[in-house]
């Protein structure tokens, strides 16, 4: 028996989102239905609705979510009915070349639910990042559910995307460790999570770089020891000054633009690491002197989803949150209803909101 619940869709490119009836099938083999408690509003949802990801409208939006497993299909062993879970968009396969090499966070064959959620007229929906969680209940692959300790769903659901990406960019991709100097360029949800990750990992100098003084003030709450407004001063010079004239051991780019990538490239110490976690649009290009790439050594890395392994990282981060060592509450700017997603998109341009979180 399928069930019909309320969900938020983007019907066509650029059109306002709508709350509509969505038909959710019973879970088939390897699938689970999750009752959503809360789901954060991410830029990626907006990109979907603006046609920036692909043209497979209508989309069922939302993907930074936590909730409770309501039903499981045949053969599901990962989770049980009643488990409190965070949804992830990388259910690793265990069999591709990355998984077999022991690096499942690079899995090249992640999976989603096989069945489709639909509108009441049968139109198939494309769930954002294979999740679709601005909805009372959603259908996912069981591997997309990671069981964690009970905690505030609005806060821990954010681990499902941007916060994990930022934290992991520092800790997993950047390998930030005790005593490191770290600069983070772009202090939105992703950048602030990178700052928090750097702090948890033991970095002693954490430089927040942004073009907004408000964002820089906020970044201190996450662990920034210094702030640089790159509209007012040259951020490369400023980072060098704050690191004994050398540059930071790890620079994390959390904007996704050529100019900020270049700043990251030059703001790091010799043999330092640049981590690109900001997602660029396809037309953007950078030009760098090859001799500088050689001469500065070190590593230029990208971070996909913070190189996370949900089964390893989500429970650990929820534990850090519960212990008061990772302030997930600070990412939640406002709690809203299912009908407020369009308004939340509008606030993203304003710049004061880290995350609006839909509560169900
Ligand atoms: N220099 C420094 N900071 C900048 C610049 C710039 N040129 N341009 C924008 N910023 C700052 C903004 O002021 C804001 O604080 O970058 C931050 C971006 O934050 P958000 O818009 O909240 O985005 P966020 O959710 O953090 O994602 C950042 O990571 O995962 C990707 O797709 C995501 O590309 C996006 C990036
Ligand atoms: Zn795999
Ligand atoms: Zn997201």
pLDDT for res 359: 98
What is the pLDDT tens value at each position of the chain, 360 positions in all?
899 999 999 999 999 999 999 999 999 999 999 999 999 999 999 999 999 899 999 999 999 999 999 999 999 999 999 999 999 999 999 999 999 999 999 999 999 999 999 999 999 999 999 999 999 999 999 999 999 999 999 999 999 999 999 999 999 999 999 999 999 999 999 999 999 999 999 999 999 999 999 999 999 999 999 999 999 999 999 999 999 999 999 999 999 999 999 999 999 999 999 999 999 988 999 999 999 999 999 999 999 999 999 999 999 999 999 999 999 999 999 999 999 999 999 998 877 789 999 999
Closest residue by Cα to atom 23, ligand 1, is 188
Ligand 2 mean position, distance from CA 147 (Å)? 20
Ligand 3 mean position, distance from CA 207 (Å)? 24
The residue length of the chain stands at 360
SS3 for 4? strand
- The rounded distance, in Å, linking the Cα atoms of 302 and 174 is 9
Can you spell out the DSSP letters for 87-153? E-S-B--S-SHHHHTT-GGG-S--B--SS--EETT-PBPEEGGGT--SBSEEEEEGGGEEE-----H
Question: CB of 344 closer than 6 A to ligand 1?
Answer: no
pLDDT for res 268: 98
Can you spell out the DSSP letters for 186-215? --SHHHHHHHHHHHHHT-SEEEEEES-HHH
Cβ neighbours of 18 (radius 10 Å): 14
Closest residue by Cα to atom 32, ligand 1, is 279
Distance of CA 67 to CAs 35, 36, 135, 159, 325, Å? 5, 4, 11, 13, 23
SS3 for 185? strand
Question: CB of 353 closer than 6 A to ligand 1?
Answer: no
Ligand 2 mean position, distance from CA 112 (Å)? 13
Residue 39 pairs in a beta bridge with 65, 358
CB-CB contact of 308 with 172 (8 Å)? yes
pLDDT for res 352: 79
CB-CB contact of 353 with 188 (8 Å)? no
Ligand 1 mean position, distance from CA 254 (Å)? 6
- Residue 354 CA: nearest ligand 1 atom is 22
pLDDT for res 57: 98
CB-CB contact of 146 with 90 (8 Å)? no
Question: CB of 278 closer than 6 A to ligand 1?
Answer: yes
Ligand 1 mean position, distance from CA 262 (Å)? 15
pLDDT for res 289: 98
Residues in contact with 102: Cβ distance below 8 Å, sequence separation at least 6, in sequence order: none
pLDDT for res 55: 95
Question: CB of 276 closer than 6 A to ligand 1?
Answer: no
- The rounded distance, in Å, linking the Cα atoms of 207 and 225 is 6
CB-CB contact of 203 with 180 (8 Å)? yes
Distance of CA 206 to CAs 129, 268, 308, Å? 31, 13, 22
pLDDT for res 1: 84
């Amino acid at each position: 028996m399928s069930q019909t619940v309320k969900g938020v869709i983007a019907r066509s490119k650029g059109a306002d989102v709508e709350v509509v009836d969505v038909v959710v099938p019973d879970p088939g083999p390897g699938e689970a239905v999750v009752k959503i408690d809360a789901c954060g509003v991410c830029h990626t949802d907006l990109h979907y609705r603006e046609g920036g990801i692909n043209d497979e409208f209508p989309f069922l939006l939302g993907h930074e979510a936590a909730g409770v497993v309501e039903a499981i299909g045949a053969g599901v062993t990962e989770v049980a009915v009643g488990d409190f879970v965070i949804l992830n968009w990388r259910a690793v396969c265990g069999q591709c070349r990355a998984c077999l090499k022991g690096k499942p966070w690079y899995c090249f064959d992640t999976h989603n639910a096989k069945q489709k959620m639909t509108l009441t007229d049968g139109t198939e929906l494309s769930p954002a990042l294979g999740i679709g969680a601005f909805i009372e209940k959603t259908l996912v692959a069981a591997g997309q559910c990671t069981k964690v300790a009970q905690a505030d769903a609005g806060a821990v659901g954010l681990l499902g995307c941007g916060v994990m990406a930022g934290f992991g960019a520092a800790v997993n991709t950047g390998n930030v460790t005790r005593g490191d100097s770290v600069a983070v360029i772009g202090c939105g949800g992703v950048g602030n999570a990178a700052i928090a990750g750097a702090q948890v990992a033991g970095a002693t100098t954490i430089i927040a770089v942004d073009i907004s003084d408000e964002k820089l003030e906020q970044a201190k709450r996450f662990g920034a020891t210094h702030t640089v407004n790159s509209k007012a001063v040259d951020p490369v010079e400023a980072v060098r000054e704050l690191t004994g004239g050398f540059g930071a051991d790890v620079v994390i780019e959390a904007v996704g633009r050529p100019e900020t990538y270049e700043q990251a490239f030059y703001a790091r110490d010799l043999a330092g690491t640049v981590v690109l976690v900001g997602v660029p649009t396809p037309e953007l290009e950078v030009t760098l002197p090859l001799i500088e790439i050689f001469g500065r050594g070190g590593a230029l890395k990208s971070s996909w989803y913070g190189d996370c392994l949900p089964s390893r990282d989500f429970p650990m981060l929820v534990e850090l949150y519960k212990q008061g060592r990772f302030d997930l509450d600070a990412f939640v700017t406002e709690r809203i209803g299912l009908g407020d997603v369009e308004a939340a998109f509008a606030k993203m341009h304003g710049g004061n909101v880290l995350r609006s979180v839909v509560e169900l």
